[in-house]
Structure 1
């Protein structure tokens, strides 16, 4: 069974079109169609059927697409495992994340990684979710770590996994015991967590919107205001006793996930896997 045919089929399923699969793989649409037909002949059942000019995946095709994805991933893993030791310990990894997450969570783990792999150059860009997503979509980075969802349908061979679970919390500086009428600072009223907060606590007075959680954190420490922040910013050893949650009758915590997004078919896949392992230690 030809792995390139598997790739054509998996991409066609993911993108919803044999034409888009062909464009992604730089081949003619007929090549993709023939590759899928060859798979069907080898398997003995239909993977697709044409419905009003569109590509429709059969039930058997959906099951096979999941299996084929795993096969392709295993093949790539095997390729990289047989590469030289130098290829696993020397290279460049470009990544992007939030400045707040870098400061509060990643730095100490990256320092350990650098001690173990001193010849790996980790180049870091920080930004908000939209910027991080754009960097990954345009393949300017190899690895993204963000709280915001990334729509990766148009990106070939991108995987994601959960790095951290937590909650957004409404907090003030520990020294300030504020009333419910105190001003509040958020990132953007259109973001899911802020929309949730305003639905649950419509009495809150939004004083300003700031794109950076790190900036909000600094303002909350200095001023008598509330801030809505991810709890990884609040659990750092230096800040563990710096913040308090108000005791309102309505729970105001909003769950989040920090996810890793990476290109598993990247030439430096083993380096990326090593870095991912380091972020979980």
Structure 2
């Protein structure tokens, strides 16, 4: 079994040689004279060689003693640096990370994300908050959420905002009921709360047909809108990510040359907030995920 010298013994010995005095080393280290002497004796016993040639009121450093002094300085310097290191491994980092996103995005992103965080950081806790785009962005800006994920964004100087995916808003209706009239102007629409895409649709419809868009329901949830569309209740304005897993042939996309509305999926975090390893890992996973 390999044994190592006591670092305190090394320090006492180095200080005694540097100061030329056992008493001086004792004063510097706030210990007694005998404590320094015992430490040096223990070090000599450990190394199996005398380090000091003791005289009546002084000592002389042996050749071996000078070698040990130089090596001890290296060890003590390394030990000093070691104390300042953060040696916490990623898998041992214990933090609480708060994520905000819409239920639409949670379907594609949340389950695989939580599995990856649990695998990589088993001691961490993830708190998930659902909300609209505006609610999530406001939560990130206020600091109540660490990382937000939304369809669409706002321009806020305090936020770091990154587009991780692009998509398209679609006009979708169910094929479950026969509809002999395929004209878009004969349809009724189901929309979310006023947003960029809803207002663009209203404006385009008015310009194209000279009348107000016939709105059947306004529902602040794309998931609930999707449910109503699947029941055949109207045409829903939905992000394509939501219908990507729908059964082929169960819906149709209505084409309108006067309406084209792309979107971006954004990641939001505060620019000024320190980024933990868990947060950076979460951001990387979400940015690389392709639903």
Give me the TM-score of the superposition, normalised by structure 2.
0.60
Equivalent of residue 148 in structure 1, options 121, 146, 152: 152
Q: Match for residue 104 of structure 2? A: 100
1:272 counterpart = 2:262? no
Structure 2: state its 5+ residue gaps.
1-84
Contact in 2 for aligned 1:167/1:231 (Cα 8 Å): yes
Q: Match for residue 174 of structure 1? A: 175
* Residues 252-276 of structure 1, C-alpha deviations (whole Å, 9 max, x = no match): 3310011001135534522111011
Q: Match for residue 233 of structure 2? A: 224
CA drift of 1:106 comes to 2.9
> Aligned ranges for residues 3-22 of structure 1 at < 5 Å?
none
Q: Match for residue 91 of structure 1? A: 95
* Residues 225-270 of structure 1, C-alpha deviations (whole Å, 9 max, x = no match): 100001110113x54553211244x253310011001135534522
Give me the TM-score of the superposition, normalised by structure 1.
0.62
Contact in 2 for aligned 1:110/1:278 (Cα 8 Å): no
Q: Match for residue 212 of structure 1? A: 221
Paired residue secondary structure (2:116): helix
CA-based RMSD: 2.5
> Aligned ranges for residues 111-190 of structure 1 at < 5 Å?
111-153=115-157, 155=158, 158-176=159-177, 178=179, 179=182, 180=184, 181-188=186-193, 190=194
CA distance in 2, matches of 1:253, 1:240: 23
* Residues 6-34 of structure 1, C-alpha deviations (whole Å, 9 max, x = no match): xxxxxxxxxxxxxxxxxxxxxxxxxxxxx
Contact in 1 for aligned 2:173/2:230 (Cα 8 Å): yes
* Residues 46-82 of structure 1, C-alpha deviations (whole Å, 9 max, x = no match): xxxxxxxxxxxxxxxxxxxxxxxxxxxxxxxxxxx96
CA distance in 1, matches of 2:106, 2:195: 21
CA drift of 1:148 comes to 3.3
Contact in 2 for aligned 1:88/1:268 (Cα 8 Å): no
CA drift of 1:96 comes to 0.6
CA drift of 1:132 comes to 1.1
Contact in 2 for aligned 1:129/1:146 (Cα 8 Å): yes
Structure number with bigger Rg: 2
Structure 1: state its 5+ residue gaps.
1-80
Q: Describe the shift of the 1:177–1:122 C-alpha distance in structure 2 as closer, same or farther (beyond 3 A).
A: farther
Matched residues, number: 195
